[in-house]
């Protein structure tokens, strides 16, 4: 139980950090949190929950497309998860699907970096 909780908390932190970094890189016209830091944290929670609950089902249902594109279709799935989180939580505004894909890439890079730093040798 502790391990699952810890993994979810790390996923939440990575999602929040990735959203904040993406907003800084892309600017407020592309990603907006209505100027509130609390909205970044809540957006990260929503995104982490969506990625935990809905993403595995979507990946399973689109597995043929993922395999045919050698995994590139995962970029679209990640973008869809960001759009879904923005739809579920109003203060998170994303300018479009292309921006959502870039946000997904940024969150993936942050996740990779955090995983590399936390990895046990």
**E-strand stretches of 19-85:** 31-32
pLDDT of residue 42: 92
pLDDT digits (tens, 9 = 90+) for 13-36: 998 998 999 888 888 778 888 778
Q: For 28-32, 98-102, 104-108, which range has the lowest pLDDT when averaged over its residues? A: 28-32
pLDDT at position 62, please?
Answer: 95
* 73-88 and 97-118 helices, crossing angle to 10°: 100
Please report which helix (H) or strand (E) contains residue 74, including its range: helix 73-88
Q: Is residue 79 predicted with pLDDT exceeding 80?
A: yes
What number is the average pLDDT over the span 99-116? 89
Q: Which whole number is the average pLDDT over 51-64?
A: 94
Band of residue 87 on the pLDDT scale cut at 50, 70, 90 = very high
Question: What integer pLDDT is reported at residue 36 of this predicted model?
Answer: 80
Instruction: Break the chain into its structural domains and give their ranges.
Output: 2-118
Q: What is the pLDDT of residue 2?
A: 63
Q: How confident is the model at residue 120 (pLDDT cuts 50, 70, 90)?
A: low
């Amino acid at each position: 139980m502790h391990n699952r909780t810890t993994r979810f908390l790390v996923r939440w932190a990575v999602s929040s950090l990735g959203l904040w970094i993406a907003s800084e890189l892309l600017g407020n016209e592309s990603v907006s949190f209505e100027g509130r830091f609390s909205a970044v944290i809540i957006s990260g929670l929503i995104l982490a929950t969506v990625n935990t609950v809905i993403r595995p089902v979507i990946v399973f249902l689109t597995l043929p497309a993922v395999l045919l594109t050698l995994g590139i279709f995962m970029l679209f799935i990640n973008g869809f998860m960001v759009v879904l989180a923005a739809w579920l939580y109003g203060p998170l505004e994303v300018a479009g699907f292309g921006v959502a894909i870039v946000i997904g890439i940024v969150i993936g890079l942050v996740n990779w970096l955090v995983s590399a730093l936390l990895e046990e040798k």
